[in-house]
Structure 1
Amino acid sequence: MFVTKSFRYSFIFLLSLTVFGCSEQAELDIRPAQSVHVDTLTLEPSTLRLTTELPGRITAFKEAEVRPQITGIIQSRLYQEGGYVEAGDVLFQIDPTTYQSTVNSAEAQLNKALSSQQIAQKEVKRYANLLKKKLTSQQLYDEADSTYLQAKAEVAIRQAELDYANIELSYTQIKAPISGQAGFSLVSEGSLLTAGQSDYITTIIQTDNVYVDMKQSSVSLYKLQQEFRTMINQRPIVPVSITLEDGTTYNEEGRLEFADTQVEGSTGTVTLRAIIPNPDNALLAGMYVRAYISMPEARDYLVIPQSSVVRSQSGIPSVYVVNQDNIIVKKTIVLSNEVGNGWVVKEGLEAGDKVVLNNLMNVKNNLSVIIDSDKKSNQKSDTEDSIKSDNSVSNSPEQD
């Protein structure tokens, strides 16, 4: 009996606690949800001149590998290693003794042939006079004329031999084929050189201008060409600027020269080549740089802060926009280029859209919000800002 009463009292106590807890939960459920406060950015177009950023490598404008054209012993080196040489300057002198002897012999043979030609010429003239007076036969005249023609041919042969001997003699002076900076000498006095050897003996590099070779995907190149399609008949000058490996901006601006006509099958890229002035020889062949290809003109673009972009699990970018009724609308966007701390929006937004800047973890689609502050994006400006392109993998929001 005592146990029954105790159980009854315990049951009544627990029931009262349950009813009290339910009443508290009901009170919590009927409390109004707190409004989410956000800051927004009203989009307005910014005038920018976009650039495409590509990795590049410096190559020499002209580079000549100097090799001997005859066999001989080097007598002397006549240039300063690392110095500037003009086209035609003598770099090395090969011992000319044997080649001078060949020239002398060819001259003697030519003089002998000239003497024979003169004799044959006089003889054919005599036979011609005798033939007019009918004092000789036609056969003897023809033989004299043939001898004269053979003598003329012999003179031509000996002249060609002399010319060739003089050419070989001139090759004993190894001259600079182009103007530029001469490299290290790979031979010294007394070294034996052979005609047609594969090893070069020095190099000359012309560096007043240098090339910048870049790699661009074929799809991106097509898009770049479309930017210039309205200027195709004008052969537009495409400006190219570069920065060095440490981020230093090079103070000379170049231009895009051409694009290769074939796509590399293994990488799907096309080689672009630009020419950059290098008056101080600051750019050396083999250096790696970042090249920036400017678009043909400044245009209006919508730019949003990078912090306002959210991405799905698959990496698709989107932003939250507040409509006229202060309701959140999630919009999927297509990003283009990076501008400082912002992205250029290619598709998905329009001028006047209010993009949510903060409290992104607490907002969702169709949620009513309160705008604490609203600011406008940059006004239109004639200033042409250089930007980083999405062609750089590290900066690219999407792949072509």
Structure 2
Amino acid sequence: MLAALLLLGACGKADNAAGKGPQGPVTVGYVVVQPSSVPVEQDLPARVSAYQISEVRPQVSGVVLRRLFKEGGVVHQGQTLYQIDPSLYQAQVAQASANVQSARASAEAARARANRYRPLAQMEAVSKQDYTDALSQARQAEAAIAQNNAALRTAQINLRYTRVPAPITGRIGLSNVTEGALVTANQAESLATITRLDPINVDIQQSASDLIGLRRSLSQGGVSPTTAQVRLLLPDGSDYGYTGTVQFSEVIVSPDTGAVTLRARFPNSQNILLPGMFVKARFAQSIDTLAFLVPQSAVTRDPKGNATLWVVGPGNRAVHRTVVASQTQGSNWVVTQGLAPGEKVITQGTANLRQDAQLKPVPASAPQRIEAPPAGTQAQPAGRRP
């Protein structure tokens, strides 16, 4: 019984030592926040589109004799892709050239006749009507030369079109025709498609409501526009590694999606971005000059998802505050509402804080003072008992 009484007494003393007695102020670490210029970043859905696309079609009819490119390879502007049978068009060039020579011969005879009739008409050896008819025939012969020259140029152009060239430089896809196939001028089906992938465009979709909010913020002050440097997140979540610039913004809201399209341009020398790929664009359209950068360790979320933090209030009392923190920057939350310049935000020692608790605030990460042991005591060597 004596042992049991001694044990109960020892437990009571331990409970008193565990905190039932009076406690002093809670030591917390704080940082003083000041407004700074923070880019307002957004993550928006986007889709990759080609910088240039060209569908190769024949401009003359004929049988394809040869295909002069490798499918899937890179072709250069002006490079011959297909050779169409030129026999018919060579004959047309020869015929047009002969017509030009014939017209020149007729024109030469007509000019000579008109020149002979001129002095005879002045001497009234021939009638003036005969001279007028000879002069008209000479001019008609000159016009016939011009007409036949135009026909010759047309025949030469058609002969040149039997070599189907690449309109742009880029990567060519599959060939839709083979050697021996008959093609016609201006046919609906293309022979092949060339796509230029470097640089490449990315079409970003921004909702009309976000765009209106941005313009309202710019008009009210505190937010300034910035040059939109865009970064991309690939479908696997990795960063693309290159930045692009916004080229323009559409002036029409899509009736299907209620969004406005912004087009950005990126380098794509390694052909990582392909047309039709869905990506995520991250960029800053404005800079908030009245935002606060608060360490992430100071901000928590309540059950409703609102951001909350502790600040040192008047009389060194703990004050629980609800703020607006919708994005992060590095290791900080960007707080846009709920703080005032010069306030002390508690970043350390927030685990057991309560509203209006007495605080002993110290700068965050301040070194702790270690007091010397009382005089007359000595540390005992390890392994020895006093």
TM-score (normalizing by structure 1) = 0.73
Aligned partner of residue 369 in structure 1, secondary structure: coil
Match of 1:253 in 2: 243
Distance 1:282 1:228, change over 3 A: farther
CA positional deviation for 1:310: 3.7
Q: Deviations over 1:193-245 (max 9, x none)?
A: 1222222111212222111111112343355568889xxxxx97532222322
Give the letter for the 2:356 counterpart.
Answer: S
Q: Which amino acid aligns with 1:172?
A: T
Could you tell me which residue of structure 2 aligns to residue 44 of structure 1?
A: 33
| Residues in 1 aligned to 2:280 and 2:351: alpha-carbon distance in whole angstroms | 35
Q: Secondary structure at the match of 1:208?
A: coil
Displacement of 1:128 in angstroms is 1.6
Please name the residue that 2:199 is paired with: 209
Residues 219, 376 of structure 1: alpha-carbon distance in 2 compared, 3 angstrom cutoff: farther
Q: 1:49 to 1:292 in 2, by over 3 A?
A: same
Q: Is the 8 A contact 1:44 1:376 kept in 2?
A: no
User: Hey, what does 1:97 align to over in structure 2?
Assistant: 87
Offset at residue 188 of structure 1 (A)? 1.0
Partners in 1 of 2:217 and 2:322 — Cα distance? 25
For 1:237 and 1:322, locate their aligned partners in 2 and report how far apart those are by CA, in whole Å: 38
SS in 2 for 1:291: strand
1:121 maps to amino acid? R
Cα distance 1:294–1:236, how it changes in 2: closer, same or farther (>3 A)?
Answer: closer
Counterpart in the other structure of 1:115: 105
Alignment partner, residue 255 of structure 2: 265
- Number of corresponding residues: 338
Q: CA deviation at 1:291?
A: 2.3
Task: Confirm or deny: 8 A CA contact 2:32 2:342 kept in the other structure.
Answer: yes
Give the CA deviation at 1:91.
Answer: 0.4
Moved more, 303-312 or 240-249: 303-312
Letter in 1 for 2:74: Y
Match among 186, 189, 198 for residue 199 of structure 1: 189
Q: Are the structure 2 counterparts of residues 310 and 40 from structure 1 closer, same or farther at C-alpha, using a change threshold of 3 Å? A: farther
Further displaced range: 301-310 or 185-194? 301-310
Bigger Cα displacement from structure 2, 300-309 vs 342-351: 300-309
> Which residue does the alignment assign to 2:381?
none
Out of 112, 115, 125, the position equivalent to 1:125 is 115
Do 1:62 and 1:206's aligned partners in 2 also have CA atoms closer than 8 Å? yes
Match of 2:151 in 1: 161
Q: 1:206 to 1:124 in 2, by over 3 A?
A: same
Q: Alpha-carbon deviations, 1:97-125, whole Å to 9, x = none?
A: 11222222222222222221221111111
- Provide, for residues 268-322 of structure 1, a one-character-per-residue CA deviation record: whole Å limited to 9, x for no partner: 2111111112223333222333323245779573133377344475x55554544
8 Å Cα contact 2:226/2:284 also seen in 1:
no
What is residue 53 of structure 2 aligned with on the other side? 63
Q: 1:218 to 1:361 in 2, by over 3 A?
A: farther
Q: Alpha-carbon deviations, 1:182-201, whole Å to 9, x = none?
A: 22222110111122222211
State the match for 1:190 in structure 2: 180
**1:395 paired residue number:** none
**2:70 counterpart of 1:80:** yes
Distance 1:368 1:180, change over 3 A: same
Q: Which residue of 2 aligns with 1:368?
A: 356
Distance 1:66 1:251, change over 3 A: same
Paired with 1:306 and 1:122, the residues of 2 have a C-alpha distance of 104
> Residues of 2 paired with 1:245 and 1:74: CA distance?
41
CA 1:100–1:249 in 2, change beyond 3 Å: closer, same or farther? same
Tell me, in whole angstroms, the C-alpha distance in 2 between the residues paired with 1:253 and 1:270. 21
Q: Deviations over 1:341-360 (max 9, x none)?
A: 64311122123334456768
Q: Which amino acid aligns with 2:49?
A: T
Alpha carbons 1:227, 1:295 under 8 Å: kept:
no
1:181 aligns with 2:171: yes
1:283 aligned residue (273, 276, 279) = 273
Which deviations, in whole Å up to 9, do the C-alpha atoms of 1:24-58 show, x marking residues without a partner?
Answer: xxxxxxx9999996856434246644533323222
| CA shift for structure 1 position 370 | 3.6
* TM-score computed with the length of structure 2 as normaliser: 0.75
Alignment match, 1:308: 299
1:38 and 1:55 map into 2 onto residues whose CA distance is: 46
Provide the residue aligned with 1:244 in structure 2. 234
Secondary structure, counterpart of 1:333 in structure 2? strand
In the alignment, which residue of structure 1 is the partner of 2:208? 218
Distance 2:75 2:149 in 1: 34
Q: Deviation digits for residues 127-146 of structure 1, max 9, x if unmatched?
A: 12222222222211111122
Gaps of 5+ in 1: 1-30, 230-234, 378-400
